[in-house]
Amino acid sequence: MTETEKLPIIHVVCAVLLDEHGHVLVAKRPLDKSLGGLWEFPGGKVEEGESLSDALIREIREELGTEVVVEPDGVGVLGTFDHALSEAMIRLHPIICRLAEDANPPEALEHLELRWVPVTEETDLDWAPGDRRIFSAVLRKWQGKLGHQRSVLKGKVFRALFWMTFVGYGLLFAGEAYDIWIAMFLGTLLIVPAVPLGGFVSSVIGGLEYPSSNWWDNFCSLSLVVLFLAVNAWLLARVWRWLTN
């Protein structure tokens, strides 16, 4: 057994308090305490007989003067982080939570300063040991969540573009076959925006993200773009002839 393994373990809960804008609350430690002036996630020691969730709610009430609600998957999802001191091993338990409904805004009752920082990019804060690793874990989880949301949104938009194109061609061909100009007009309105909308999805929402690690995804995405360009060029030529005749 190593010297580190012989140390007693002190369990500490840390509030990963997120808002609806993708920011997390961090706190600056008082100068008269250990690690003074460094930034941390607010929280404290777990008392004997307390659950991690109960300890977090109590600590946030004492340190920030507000109430939080632990997310359903908030305990354990980020793992634990150990930091060895000379007299003990500090085991940090980051817990994802949010402000309770109608809760007071957090106040720095025991810290020098509170700050909401975005979890979409690294910060240059001077972190306390262990808390930087927690922030990196939060950053990875949040980026993964955003990536999943973008993929879902991209899929929904492309399915909408497919149905716009499908219905648009149906109206166009029916209008041309039966000489119904309003059907041709509506079909054109549905089909022509497909390429610019696809470009919007690609550039703004997250898009095709070339190169993908999956060659089949790359092939399908490129084929879809080429198809849209070719068909819309053909369509515009036919519409131009129809309008000028």
Reported for 55-62, long-range contacts at CB under 8 A and 24+ positions apart, including other chains, are: 55/13, 56/13, 56/15, 56/95, 56/97, 59/13, 59/15, 60/15, 60/17, 60/97, 60/106, 62/109, 62/110
Q: Residue 180: inside a domain, yes or no? A: yes
Q: What CA–CA distance (Å, rounded) separates 107 from 42?
A: 11
Range of the domain at 67: 3-129
> Which residues of 148-215 form beta strands (DSSP E)?
none
Tell me the two tokens of residue 112: 């020098």
Q: What local confidence, expressed as pLDDT, does residue 185 receive?
A: 73
In a domain, 141, yes or no: no
Q: Tens-of-pLDDT digits for all 245 residues of the chain? A: 566 667 899 999 999 999 988 899 999 999 988 889 999 999 999 999 999 999 999 999 999 999 999 999 899 889 999 988 888 899 999 999 999 999 999 999 999 999 999 887 778 899 998 899 999 998 888 776 655 556 666 667 667 777 777 777 777 677 767 777 777 677 767 766 665 555 554 444 444 444 445 555 556 556 656 666 666 667 667 666 766 65
- 7 and 125 belong to one structural domain: yes
In a domain, 142, yes or no: no
Q: Which position has the token pair 């106040």?
A: 107
Distances (CA, A) of 216 to 136, 156, 206, 212, 220: 32, 19, 18, 9, 6
- 67 and 159 in a single domain? The answer is no
The answer as to whether 67 is a domain residue is yes
pLDDT in tens, 63-120: 999 999 999 989 988 999 998 888 889 999 999 999 999 999 999 999 999 999 988 7
Q: Per residue in 136-148, is it b (16+ CB within 10 Å) or e — as a string? A: ebbbeebeeeeee
Domain CATH code at residue 115:
3.90.79.10
pTM for the predicted model, two decimal places:
0.61
In this structure, is residue 27 part of a structural domain? yes
Same domain, 108 and 167: no
Structural domain total, the chain: 2
Q: Are residues 72 and 114 in the same domain?
A: yes
